[in-house]
Amino acid sequence: MESAWKSYRGLWALSIPSIIATMLEPISSVVDTALVGRFSTEQLAALAIGATLISSLTWMFNFLVHAPIQGVSEKIGQKRFDEVISLCKVSLFMALGLGLILILVFLPIRFHIYAFMGATENLLKYCDEYFFIRLLGQSSVLLFTVCLALLRGFAKVRVAMAFIGISTFLNISLSYLSLYHWDFGLAGVAGATVFGNTIGMLLSFLTLIRIQEIRDHFWTQKIIRNNIFELGSKALNIFGRSAFLTLSFFLCTKIASHIGVVELASHQIILQVWLFASFFTDGVATTGNIVGARAQSAEQRKELIGIFNKLLFMGAKIGLVFTLAYFFLDELVLQRFTSDQEVLKTIATVWPFIALSQIPLSIAYVYDGLIFGLGNFAFLRKHMMIAFCLVFTPLAFYSYNMKSLIGIWAALIGVGIYRLVSNYFCVRNELRVNI
């Protein structure tokens, strides 16, 4: 474990590139929402459905992020570079296979899914323009995700940041041109996302195979069977967690579409703003994953207490910044997405709760990263299931019956608060046992 990681300066040095990188990842969606929202409220509603579907097919497989980061960082800490290469290959093949499976499964049934999501006849065409192209390019998105995770496992966070920046720039530029100059509509917005991710994937893969510790044996090292089972076990636990988290977002969009088009458009804007803050904090959580996995000796485990406390305080400060920004710059933020006064009025009913929740939710996200680093994936799966059943479901049911947008966000924030409390006890107990 690097000695620099014991200080705030070292942790910020490791975190800031990850913060910028994870902040850039949702920027494409945020900008797409803003561009489409100012172009057409109807197409924004269609984008809300299409983006939720494709995001669900990405979030459900976010074990392609957390498991490779933790696994590679852990094996590097153990100096087992043959297994590092093996884990890289297993992760890449898994991403490619999942992308192809998603196309085969969802392509024939996509119109049934649009209908289930509440898409009206007028929205079906726009939904398919976006979702069809995004689905065909999902393999590139998942492969890019894995390559970035592997680079972060090597602590190459600045390189990962650069490639995400390139991908995001291409995405935003081509989305703008597609809407306002080339008249490609939502199909052009989707194509811009796929193209940006494909370029990022190629650049990150070429960089990965040139890393000093693995470049001489990358092509000759065979996959180690134990690594398949190891990664598979972690993946199943993270998949279980992600499935319930994704289902929560999916159902929220379904409920918003049930309430009305204005509420659906409002929900999409709030969701993008909310996710932007969460992805920002995930940069600190990524540092927790990397550092926690590198700690292999009893002495290093003791040092984790101080390091983890610093990371949690960093997360709280980030949450405070977003709380203040959302309270005092609300008009500046929201008017970037839409000028529709009815949509803005609807958002205003929920906005104070979004702003106030940023500090506890930011700490909860950092705790997630700490638990990933400690390798307790089963705990996160179990307690996400509990939060979904005991917190989300009752509030979502209320929201559906009462047609309440506030109820939707009470459900999502409630899940975050539960995660904060349960994660606190998990980390405390893990460090006590291992010291």
Q: What's the chain's length in residues?
A: 435
pTM: 0.75
**For residues 286 and 73, what is the distance between their CA atoms, to the nearest angstrom?**
11
pLDDT top residue among 400 and 6: 400
Rg of the chain, C-alpha, whole Å: 21
Give me the percent of the chain exceeding a pLDDT of 90.
17
Average pLDDT on 277-287 reads 84
Which of 26-40, 173-187, 197-211, 337-351 tops mean pLDDT? 197-211
**For residues 191 and 184, what is the distance between their CA atoms, to the nearest angstrom?**
9
**For residues 203 and 156, what is the distance between their CA atoms, to the nearest angstrom?**
14
**For residues 400 and 314, what is the distance between their CA atoms, to the nearest angstrom?**
37
Give the Cβ contact number of residue 386 at 10 Å: 14
User: What pLDDT is recorded for position 435?
Assistant: 44
Residue 3's pLDDT band (cuts 50, 70, 90): low
User: What pLDDT is recorded for position 393?
Assistant: 92
User: What pLDDT is recorded for position 362?
Assistant: 93
Mean pLDDT, the chain, integer: 82
Average pLDDT on 342-355 reads 84
Handedness of CA 116, 144, 283, 239 (dihedral sign): positive
**pLDDT at 386 > cutoff 90:** yes
Two tokens, residue 309: 């406390």
Residue 47's pLDDT band (cuts 50, 70, 90): confident
Residue 26's pLDDT band (cuts 50, 70, 90): low
**pLDDT at 222 > cutoff 50:** yes
pLDDT top residue among 133 and 32: 133
**pLDDT at 298 > cutoff 90:** no
**pLDDT at 363 > cutoff 90:** yes
Q: What is the 3-state secondary structure (H, E, C) of the chain?
A: CCHHHHCHHHHHHHHHHHHHHHHHHHHHHHHHHHHHHHHCHHHHHHHHHHHHHHHHHHHCCCHHHHHHHHHHHHHHHCCCHHHHHHHHHHHHHHHHHHHHHHHHHHCCCHHHHHHHCCCCHHHHHHHHHHHHHHHHCHHHHHHHHHHHHHHHHCCCHHHHHHHHHHHHHHHHHHHHHHHHCCCCHHHHHHHHHHHHHHHHHHHHHHHHCCCCCCCCCCCCCCCCHHHHHHHHHHHHHHHHHHHHHHHHHHHHHHHHHHHCHHHHHHHHHHHHHHHHHHHHHHHHHHHHHHHHHHCCCHHHHHHHHHHHHHHHHHHHHHHHHHHHHHHHCHHHHHCCCCCCHHHHHHHHCCHHHHHHCHHHHHHHHHHHHHHHHHCCHHHHHHHHHHHHHHHHHHHHHHHHHHCCHHHHHHHHHHHHHHHHHHHHHHHHHHHHHHC
**pLDDT at 323 > cutoff 90:** yes
pLDDT in tens, 62-102: 778 778 888 888 888 777 788 888 888 888 998 899 889 98
Two tokens, residue 406: 């506030």
User: What pLDDT is recorded for position 416?
Assistant: 92
**pLDDT at 146 > cutoff 50:** yes
pLDDT top residue among 43 and 242: 242
Least confident of 279-288, 414-423, 426-435: 426-435
**pLDDT at 136 > cutoff 70:** yes
User: What pLDDT is recorded for position 385?
Assistant: 92
**pLDDT at 2 > cutoff 80:** no
Distant-in-sequence, close-in-space partners of 331: CB < 8 Å, separation ≥ 6: none
Q: Domain residues of the chain, as ranges?
A: 3-434
**pLDDT at 138 > cutoff 70:** yes
User: What pLDDT is recorded for position 367?
Assistant: 93
**pLDDT at 56 > cutoff 90:** no
User: What pLDDT is recorded for position 296?
Assistant: 57
Give the Cβ contact number of residue 293 at 10 Å: 24
User: What pLDDT is recorded for position 94?
Assistant: 87
pLDDT in tens, 228-254: 887 788 888 888 888 888 888 888 888
